[in-house]
Amino acid sequence: MRIEPDIKLDYSNVLLRPKRSTLSSRNEVNISREYKFKHSGRKYEGIPIMASNMDGVGTFSMAKALQEHEMLTVLRKHYTIANWEVAVTNGVSLQHLVVSTGTNIIFDKDASDYLTMQQVLSKFPDVNIICIDVANGYLENFVQFVNRVREEYPSKTIIAGNVCTPEMTEELIIGGADIVKIGIGPGCFPPGTTVLTSNGTKPIEQIEIDDLVHTHTGSWKRVNNKFEFNHHRELIKINDSIQCTPGHKFYVVHKNYLEIVNDENLHEYAEWIEAKELDKNWYILEENSP
């Protein structure tokens, strides 16, 4: 691991600066664009805005609304093939849908989201875009998985992520991605939040460099850096016991997987979800201390 201590910019540092225009009315603005993708060779023309594949956003109802404006919806991966069939019957346009999958198939040949993706692309060939979505796109097997999907579906446009550096973006493009998802969400806990360390629990503000903290996998990880933000931000309360900022991610399992998850495959079905997206469909994972 390489630690870069210099200041980095994020989305809060980006502003749109107005520019002089010859248009006389905002009704004259045309924000439609055309793209030709590197690997699939396909062209896309429309408004380049996509609804995310988050649980409460990437829905068929969202897709039906956005297709009227030539926008895409990246569907959440928990839909079944039966859900797809009902949606298409109800008028959802296949040309405006993106099918999502994780990489669980690497560990489990029966992984439901990947098998559902295969079923969707077989039954609905007009779905032209695949989204391969993981919380951390820096794992070696993630690039290998993107390459595998590219070989299996050479004519489909592939979205892959999440990453946040130019080098990994380039790696994914070389590996077969046409579009790269950029952004690993930030998040904070307020003072007083307890953290399990090798020396017992500590308030988060007392954690020091080189402390060993207990991770979501049940192992110990050394603290390499720490950040403190001295400003007021909105807090979300979860289960009356956890407080954090809306962008903080939690390691969770969707209720649809509860019947097939066990101690051996737990971390293959779990994923990272921002606090603001959590609802009663998600179960937060808690490891027992060693």
Encode 177-244 in three state secondary structure. CCEEEECCCCCCCCCCCEEEECCEEEEHHHCCCCCEEECCCCCEEECCCCCCCCCCCCCEEECCCEEE
pLDDT band for position 287 (cuts 50, 70, 90): low
What pLDDT is stored for residue 290 in this prediction?
42
Residue 7 belongs to a domain? no
> Across 37-128, where does the E strand assignment appear?
43-46, 50-51, 72-74, 97-101
Report the pLDDT averaged over residues 86-105: 93
Separation between Cα atoms, residue 78 and residue 263, nearest integer Å: 21
Residue 17 belongs to a domain? no
Domain boundary among 161, 182, 203: 182
Report the pLDDT averaged over residues 57-72: 94
Report the pLDDT averaged over residues 205-221: 83
Residue 289 belongs to a domain? no
What pLDDT is stored for residue 263 in this prediction?
78
> Model confidence over 246-256: pLDDT tens digits?
878 888 888 88
> Model confidence over 31-64: pLDDT tens digits?
999 999 999 999 999 999 999 988 778 999 999 9
Question: Which amino acid is located at 288 in the chain?
Answer: N
> Model confidence over 99-147: pLDDT tens digits?
999 887 655 555 678 999 999 999 999 999 999 998 778 878 899 999 9
What pLDDT is stored for residue 259 in this prediction?
87
Residues 169 and 222 in one domain: no
Instruction: Please give the residue range of the domain that contains residue 274.
Output: 194-284
Q: Is residue 90 predicted with pLDDT exceeding 80?
A: yes
Higher pLDDT, 197 or 287: 197
Higher pLDDT, 158 or 163: 158
Residues 221 and 166 in one domain: no
Side-chain half-sphere exposure of 8, counting CA atoms within 13 A: 10
**99: closest CA among 80, 117, 83?**
117
Residue whose tokens read 């992984």: 111
Separation between Cα atoms, residue 159 and residue 271, nearest integer Å: 18
Average pLDDT over the chain, rounded to an integer: 86
Residue 18 belongs to a domain? no
Is the pTM for the entire model greater than 0.95?
no
Q: How many domains would you assign to the chain?
A: 2
Residues 121 and 198 in one domain: no
